[in-house]
Amino acid sequence: MDSATVIALASICIAGISTSLGAIGPAIAEGRAVASALNSLAQQPDASSTITRTLFVGLAMIESTAIYCLVVSMILIFANPFWNHFIQVSTGK
């Protein structure tokens, strides 16, 4: 395998792995957060606005970890710095 193939292989594999592994944790956490929010909504319907707002903010915080993984894999696929560098070097010669 030449180095271009290695870079492409590694980038594609890591992109998939990072998104899939990075989605597991936030998915569990968001499920737990929504479940407990629904519980407290059922117990105290009066406090629904506060609960909903806190839930949204919390979900956004949790979700951002998944978004980081997505950003990393997107960069690896579409704007890979190593790949671009390799292309530059090979065409520069």
Partner 1 sequence: MSLSPDSIIFWQYGIFKLNATIVTTWILMLTLIISSKLISKKLSKNLERSGWQNLLEIIITMIEKQIEGVGLAEPHKYISFLGTLFLFIGLSSLCIIIPGYEPPTGSLSTTVALSLCVFVAVPYFGIKERGLGNYLSSYIQPTAIMLPFNIISEASRTLALSVRLFGNMMSGTMIVGILLTITPFLFPVVMTLMGLLTGMVQAYIFSILAGVYIAAAIRVKNKQTQKT
Write down the H helix ranges in the chain: 3-43, 48-78, 81-92
Asked if 46 touches partner 1 (CB under 8 A), the answer is no
Of 4-12, 23-31, 56-64, 85-93, the segment contacting partner 1 by CB under 8 A is: 56-64
Nearer to partner 1, 2 or 45 (CB): 45
CA angle 28, 31, 34 (to 5 degrees): 150
CB of 1 to partner 1, least distance (A): 25
Under DSSP, the state recorded for 79 is S
> Nearest 5°: phi and psi at 11?
-60, -45
Q: Which residues bind partner 1 (CB under 8 A)?
A: 49-50, 53, 56-57, 60-61, 63-64, 67-68, 70-71, 74-75, 78-79
